C-alpha cells in the first residue's frame, strides 16, 4: 500500500510517500480502506514542528479521514466488514474528562489517516452518517467535534440568543448567528450557510462595538481568530457572555493578551476546550445525521498531491475544508 510519513519537521519536504505492506488486523483491530482525508490547523503545526504535543518519528499524519472496513480482527464486536467509519481524534478518550493517560492523538502519537489503509483499534472508530459522501465524511473528527463542543458544552443557546463565529458556519433553530470574516467577498456565502449578520474585518477592523449594537450583545463566542480577534470578541459579548477559546496563538507565534481595561467592564466567562471524546463525536454525528448536515468543501486534491494540499491550506484563503482523496 501507499502511506505518507512525516520524517522530521520543518515543511512539506518532510512528508514522504512510502510503499508498505498491506496491514493485517490484530484481534481487536479494524483495517480501513481510506477514501478521503482532510487537513486541520494542527496538522500544519505538526508538519512545521510547532505543535505542543511531540509527534512520533515517522508518523502517518492527519487525524481526519473516512473509509470502509475491509478486514476485522477475531475479537472485534463493534463493527463488520463494509461499515463506513471515521476515527476519533483522542483515540483512547472514550467519555468523561480527559487525563494524561488519554492524550494520544491520531496523526501525531498514533498513526493517522493519510494512507491507503489505516489500522485502528475498534474502540477508536465510529460509524458515519449514510448521507455523507467520502469527502464530507472525512472532515468531522477534529474541527467538527471542536465546533460541536464549543456550542453544546456551553449549553445550546436559547431562542433569541446570539452566537458569534470567526469565519465559520453556525446554523441552528435555537439561536441567531453572527459571523466575522477577513474577506468581504465571503459574506454572501456565509449568509447562505445560515449567518444572520456578517462583518468583514477588511472593511471594519474594529468590529466589536458594531456587533454588540446590532445584536444586543453576543451570548456565545466561538473564538478561533486568536490575537487578531480576541479583544473585539470581548467587546461584542454581553455582560455575562461566554467566550470559548480555540486558538491562542497566530501563525507568527504571538499569543492572546488580556485587555484589562475591557475585561474589568465584563463578567464574561472565558473557557478553553480541545476537540473532545469519542462520545462527543458520536453525539455530533447523530445530530449531523438527524439534520442532514453537510460540511463545506473548499478544494479536493489527489492523494499524490498531499504536499500541495498542505501548502494550499497554509496560505490561509480557504472557505471550507481542504480534502485529500484516497489512494
pLDDT at 82: 98
Convert the pLDDT of each residue in 90-106 to its tens digit. 999 999 999 999 999 99
Q: So what's the pLDDT on residue 19?
A: 97
pLDDT at 132 over 60: yes
Q: Nine-digit cell at 195?
A: 449567518
297 touches 136 (CB < 8 A) = yes
Q: Quote the pTM value.
A: 0.92
In DSSP notation, 152-194 reads: HTT-PPPTT-EEEEES-----TT-EEEEEES-GGGHHHHHHTT
DSSP assignment of 57-84 equals: TT----SEEEEEEEEE-TT--S--TT-E
**What is the band of 168 on the pLDDT scale with cuts at 50, 70, 90?**
low
Q: How confident is the model at residue 260 (pLDDT cuts 50, 70, 90)?
A: very high
Q: Is 150 helix (H, G, I), strand (E, B) or coil?
A: helix
Q: Which of 34-43, 78-87, 265-274 has the lowest mean pLDDT?
A: 265-274
Residue 317 has pLDDT above 90, yes or no: no
Taking 90 as the threshold, does the pLDDT of residue 130 lie above it? yes
310: DSSP letter:
H
Confidence of residue 230 (pLDDT cuts 50, 70, 90): very high
Amino acid at each position: 500500500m501507499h502511506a505518507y510519513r512525516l520524517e522530521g519537521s520543518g515543511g512539506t519536504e518532510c512528508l514522504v510517500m512510502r510503499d508498505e505492506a498491506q496491514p493485517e488486523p490484530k484481534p481487536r483491530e479494524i483495517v480501513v480502506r481510506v477514501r478521503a482525508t482532510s487537513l486541520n490547523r494542527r496538522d500544519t503545526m505538526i508538519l512545521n514542528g510547532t505543535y505542543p504535543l511531540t509527534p512520533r518519528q515517522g508518523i502517518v499524519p492527519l487525524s481526519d479521514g473516512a473509509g470502509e472496513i475491509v478486514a476485522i480482527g477475531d475479537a472485534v464486536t463493534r463493527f463488520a466488514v463494509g461499515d463506513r467509519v471515521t476515527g476519533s481524534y483522542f483515540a483512547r478518550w472514550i467519555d468523561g474528562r480527559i487525563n494524561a493517560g488519554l492524550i494520544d492523538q491520531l496523526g501525531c502519537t498514533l498513526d493517522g489517516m493519510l494512507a491507503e489503509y489505516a489500522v485502528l483499534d475498534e474502540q477508536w472508530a465510529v460509524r458515519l452518517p449514510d448521507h455523507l459522501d467520502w469527502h464530507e465524511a472525512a472532515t468531522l473528527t477534529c474541527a467538527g467535534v471542536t465546533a460541536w463542543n464549543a456550542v453544546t458544552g456551553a449549553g445550546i443557546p436559547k431562542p433569541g440568543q446570539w452566537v458569534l463565529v470567526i469565519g465559520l458556519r453556525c446554523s441552528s433553530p435555537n439561536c441567531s448567528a453572527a459571523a466575522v470574516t477577513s474577506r468581504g467577498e465571503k459574506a454572501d456565502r456565509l449568509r447562505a450557510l445560515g449567518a444572520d449578520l456578517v462583518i468583514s474585518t477588511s472593511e471594519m477592523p474594529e468590529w466589536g462595538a458594531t456587533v454588540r449594537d446590532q445584536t444586543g450583545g453576543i451570548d456565545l463566542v466561538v473564538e478561533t481568530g486568536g490575537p487578531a480577534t480576541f479583544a473585539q470578541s470581548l467587546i461584542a459579548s454581553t455582560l455575562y457572555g461566554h467566550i470559548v477559546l480555540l486558538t491562542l496563538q497566530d501563525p507568527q507565534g504571538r499569543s492572546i493578551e488580556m485587555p484589562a481595561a475591557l475585561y474589568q467592564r465584563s463578567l464574561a466567562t472565558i473557557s478553553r476546550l480541545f476537540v473532545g471524546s469519542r462520545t462527543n463525536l458520536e453525539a455530533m454525528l447523530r445530530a449531523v445525521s438527524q439534520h442532514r448536515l453537510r460540511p463545506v468543501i473548499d478544494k479536493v486534491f489527489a492523494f499524490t498531491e498531499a504536499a500541495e494540499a498542505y501548502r494550499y491550506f497554509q496560505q490561509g484563503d480557504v472557505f471550507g475544508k481542504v480534502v485529500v482523496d484516497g489512494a
